[in-house]
Structure 1
Amino acid sequence: MGSANNLVNAQGKEPLFSFSVISDVQYADIPDRRSFIGVPRFYRHSILVLQRAVQQWNDHKRHKFALNFGDIVDGLCPKDQSLGTVRKVVEEFEKFNGPTYHMIGNHCLYNLPRDTLLPILKIPGPDGRAYYDFSPTSEFRFVILDGYDISAIGWPQDHPNTLEALKFLQQKNPNIEKNSPAGLVGLERRFLKFNGGVGKEQLEWLDGILQEATKMKQKVVICCHLPLDPGATSQEALLWNYDEVMNLIHTYNCVKVCLAGHDHEGGHTIDSHGIHHRVLEAALECPPGTDAFGYVDVYNDRLSLIGTDRMESTDMCFSPQADL
């Protein structure tokens, strides 16, 4: 048990529970290449990162669940292989000795429409939506947001959510190529087709969840493929209406940490209300022999991310009371 020193922290306390994390596996059976900004991507190696992650999580024998922050396959995956590739990666997650909670990312939706993807990922959201919540213990609640609720990808072309997204992009991004931020300034650079937004129904649902969590004195961890704070990520990776979502979250005191993927470099910041925002480093950008995954020890007053290799360890301390 090589990680025994992590089991008990400096105050001699054991964590309430632990959970596993990985993001942006983006596996595809294709040769390596570089991203549009020149960063090397290792498409075949990424599934080995996931395999090593699951092995290590299982060796610890104390992780209650795993969180996958989306983009399990890459958009360059040949479309006739999409279904098999998604299933192959899901099979690796299923080797974990516990439940895995999935989020959808843009690359997932490049490969498969929602009505095919969500059942494979066992995502329990309503009407093809991918937002839901769960409570691993009475003191904590995890809220999974669907950052591609309003999106130009994943829904049928004539779906109201697609039409709303296309209209929105038309207003916000004058470029013919809607994945290009050319000419967009500052935070407006997030208005790209590979991002998305949280719709009105989901916002109302989130409001209800946070009301309930407040009554139950629960501490809330928000999880989304898309980051929710400009301080933790590049401007091009933000949720379209992150400001609207965070304004709602800031009217409550129960949310302690927001976790995300999508921006492969990772990041961490604490916002004006003391909420931690941690964007996780991508498995896809690990050169052969390196890794990016981790697990989180949960305490009454902090989440402690213990990262492996390219995923940085991070202590996220907060006020222990959920209602103050």
Structure 2
Amino acid sequence: MTLTDKPLFRFGVVADPQYAAIPPHVGMNRYYANSLQKLSDAIDVFNGEDLAFVVTLGDIIDRSFKSFDDILPVYERLKAPSRFLLGNHDFSVSAERLDSVVGRLGLEDSYYDFKVGSYRFIALNGNEVSLFAPGEGDAHRALAASHLAVLKAEGAVNAQTWNGALSDTQFAWLEVTLRAAKAAGEMVIILNHYPIYPPNEHNLWDFARVLELIEKYDNIPAYFCGHNHAGNFGEHGGCGFVTFKGMVDTPDENTFAIVDVYAGRLEIRGFGREESRTLVK
């Protein structure tokens, strides 16, 4: 594919602001309250560019439903549309508020897809089968407990209570959406809070089946995620797996990115602690 100098479009990426009006956890390098200023500074940069949208890859808050009241107004300064994904900390709210998280973020569904030009973006919800997002008595919470027990028995590195998985229904939807995108001649970028590659303790519980599905398609140049605040990167089957660094980390050094989408490649421009990369497809 011929490379061009003019991007088809560009979009912004933020991972893990994890805001809360609480003191920092210095031992974990988490400065929760500082994310308001960091996000505002990132938006200043985003507003200086012509962006199709800005996506936050989950963990908008660290805890407490009222934290949304502080951080969501900051996003209102964005000139570009804002897209949200759900992270594990977004469900660190009281039990009676669990069902309100999706709506509070302005989402109609917890997983969805949208199109920009010839690109299909697929936003997954890796919290659907977990010990924290489904309410008490929800079948997905019981399924999560059994799923985690199996992973622990296997000694899986990602057998962690703060990870989750896709439901079978969501996975079937992913299959159908990927098949339709391929038939339509669309390129696909998958977005999720949880990594699936390289192997890591932060990975989605059912990373293997998602990775196997992605391997079947040659039109997926990238899988973008957060959750692992240190960041990560790997290439597998022609797809670049980018874990963006957590904004909540460090007292004042920021991290976010702008992705320039060209015919044949993605140029990730990292700001602050985020690395710049080129993904060729």
TM bracket (short chain): over 0.9
- Structure-2 residue corresponding to 1:72: 60
Conserved? CA contact 2:19–2:62, under 8 Å: yes
What letter matches 2:33 in structure 1? R
- Structure-1 residue corresponding to 2:233: 268
- Structure-1 residue corresponding to 2:72: 90
Q: CA deviation at 1:93?
A: 1.4
Select the structure with the greater relative contact order (CA < 8 A; seq sep ≥ 6).
2
CA distance in 2, matches of 1:93, 1:123: 15
- Structure-1 residue corresponding to 2:208: 243
Conserved? CA contact 2:4–2:262, under 8 Å: no
- Structure-1 residue corresponding to 2:146: 167
**Aligned residue pairs: how many?**
277
Pick the aligned partner of 2:261 from 258, 276, 298.
Answer: 298
**DSSP-derived class of the 1:208 partner:** helix
- Structure-2 residue corresponding to 1:79: none
Conserved? CA contact 1:87–1:120, under 8 Å: no
Conserved? CA contact 1:93–1:100, under 8 Å: yes
Q: CA deviation at 1:12?
A: 6.2
CA distance in 1, matches of 2:104, 2:69: 7
Deviation above 6 Å: which 4+ runs of structure 1? none
- Structure-2 residue corresponding to 1:287: 251
What letter matches 1:251 in structure 2? K
Alignment of 1:24-173 (within 5 A): 24-34=16-26, 38-60=27-49, 62-75=50-63, 82-111=64-93, 113-125=97-109, 130-137=110-117, 139-173=118-152
Indicate the percent of aligned positions where both proteins have the same amino acid: 28
Q: CA deviation at 1:151?
A: 0.9
C-alpha change, 1:162 and 1:136, in structure 2 (3 Å) is same
In the TM superposition, what whole-angstrom CA distance separates every residue of 1:56-90 from its partner, at most 9, and x where no partner exists? 10122x01101000101113xxxxxx232112211
Q: CA deviation at 1:287?
A: 2.2
**DSSP-derived class of the 2:80 partner:** coil
Cα RMSD after superposing both structures: 1.5
Pick the aligned partner of 1:214 from 182, 186, 209.
Answer: 182
TM-score (norm 1): 0.82
The gaps in structure 2 that reach 5 residues or longer are none
CA distance in 2, matches of 1:276, 1:114: 33
- Structure-2 residue corresponding to 1:322: none
**DSSP-derived class of the 2:170 partner:** helix
**DSSP-derived class of the 1:190 partner:** coil
TM-score (norm 2): 0.94
CA distance in 1, matches of 2:67, 2:128: 24
What letter matches 1:254 in structure 2? N
In the TM superposition, what whole-angstrom CA distance separates every residue of 1:156-207 from its partner, at most 9, and x where no partner exists? 1100101100122233336xxxxxxxxx74xx02011100001111111011
Larger Rg: 1
CA distance in 2, matches of 1:87, 1:14: 39
